[in-house]
Amino acid sequence: MLRSGATMRDRTAELEALREEVRLGAPGATEAQHARGRLTVRERLDLLLDEGSFHEVEPLRRHRATGFGLEAKRPHTDGVVTGWGTVHGRKVFVYAHDFRIFGGALGEAHAQKIHKIMDLALAAGAPLVSLNDGAGARIQEGVSALAGYGGIFERNTRASGVIPQISVMLGPCAGGAAYSPALTDFVFMVRETSQMFITGPEVVEAVTGEKVTHNGLGGADVHAETSGVCHFAHDDEASCLEEVRYLLSLLPSNNRQAPPAVVPTDPADRRCEELADLVPLEGSRPYDMRAVIEEIVDDGEHMEVHERWATSIICTLARLGGQVVGIVANQPQSLAGVLDIHSSEKAARFVQMCDSFDIPLVTLVDVPGFLPGVDQEHGGIIRHGAKLLYAYCNATVPRISVVLRKAYGGAYIVMDSRSIGADLAYAWPANEIAVMGAEGAANVVFRRQIAASDDPGATRDRLVKEYRAELMHPYYAAERGLVDDVIDPADTRRVLIRSLDVLREKHAHLPARKHGNPPA
């Protein structure tokens, strides 16, 4: 209660005391949050933002709901802290649930605070980070709370492709609340303490009879490896928030700005002699494409997205010559690097994200084709593969592809070939660009000749060699203008950096339209 007859200094002192009370929270609430193995909202903001940079918005907001005892419990902030600060000196907007208040549950006032900070982020053209630790809609407020989620979803969609949106899951996120992270560009989760699901274990068991734990249903590892909902999973909040800071250093503030460049310390003309040894000449032998990427990019550093989901393809952010690039690469260590339903979807979303934020694309190709099988066909490999095709064809950023070894069939076309709009295409001297492998092609083209031969095995071997020599030699594609040059693997880094430099001012325009209708 404010005292009458007080001076301005008294009022200011009362304000500071109130702010301190808001910061500390209810007695025992912080201890209870720590007992759950989770940091408080203020501790999280301190880890995410540059020291002393946070400016809070509406810290004294309180709900006006009545009924079910709510009128007697009206804590300041209403369970969400909103505002802006800086990360590496660049402006970032943030909202963070405070589990100490109503379990972080969303009510009408809570939602309005989030709406305001989302609107400010979009107006200012700065990234938005949400620190999620809430128990869903505030049941006592009924449909007013649900409507608050609708406002969040609408703003997530409006901001999509305009400003980077990052969701960090630091506690529970259940029911409709889970759709906001799904609408954002990146989702981070912390093992053991964060879960996401539409219906909880109790409902699942009641409806289906299946017994499952919270983590087994929607924990970080489940979403990082099985569902693909989570892009990055971490063991603790500190390392998670540090990685969020690193990701922000690779993203532009909005779609009208270029990604942040740095002065490189890794020479642009550095030869990558190790590449010739990393990639076996034989097309059937596996190798780790990550080692190739680390050899090419600045200082060997890159940030892989969806590292543990759809592992036959790699999607990663890195720098070349100090400039941010998105790299899409087949991974021969996993399913021989084929494209399947999940890898096509994973790469398509990554390509779209890079195109939205003006991040050039580099595609490293070593693909034997699409994964065959009844499950793949019935699961919709056609429409999922078309997602990747659509994403590349629709992208207007600089696009450079390099065929390291093999590129067969429709998968070669889909992996940003010249025919779908790659600006520059290169190949290593061991490349095989063809409709299919020589063995399979010979079985089709020379089937009758092999069957009629006195020695089918020897005839087949001879015809395979002839087919490979005639149609699959490394310079066949170059002779027909399907690649711009065949390059020494050791020159890959230098060629990519020079190519990106010449394409830096690229301007491409799509036909006038409201929006496309990509494969579902």
- Residue positions annotated with a catalytic role: 175-176, 410-411
Task: Give every CB contact of residue 411 below 8 A, 6+ residues apart in sequence.
Answer: 338, 339, 367, 368, 369, 370
Structure tokens at 124: 């200012």
- Radius of gyration over every alpha carbon of the chain, rounded to an integer in angstroms: 27
**Using alpha carbons only, what angle is made at residue 192 by residues 194 and 230, rounded to the nearest 5 degrees?**
50
Q: How many H-runs (helices) and E-runs (strands) does the chain carry? A: 21, 17
Kindly provide the b/e burial profile for residues 351-389, where b requires at least 16 CB atoms within 10 angstroms of the residue's own CB. Answer: bbbbbbbbbbbbbbbbbbbbbeeeebeeebbeebbbbbb
Q: Is residue 94 within 8 Å of residue 127, measured between CB atoms? A: no
Distance CA 475, CA 365 (A): 16
Nearest alpha-carbon partner for 250 in 187, 164, 330, 184 = 164
Kindly provide the b/e burial profile for residues 52-82, where b requires at least 16 CB atoms within 10 angstroms of the residue's own CB. Answer: eebebebeebebebeeeebeeeebbbbbbbb
Amino acid at 351: V
**3 state SS for 189-205:** EECCCCEEECCCHHHHH
Distance CA 285, CA 429 (A): 17
Amino acid at 499: S
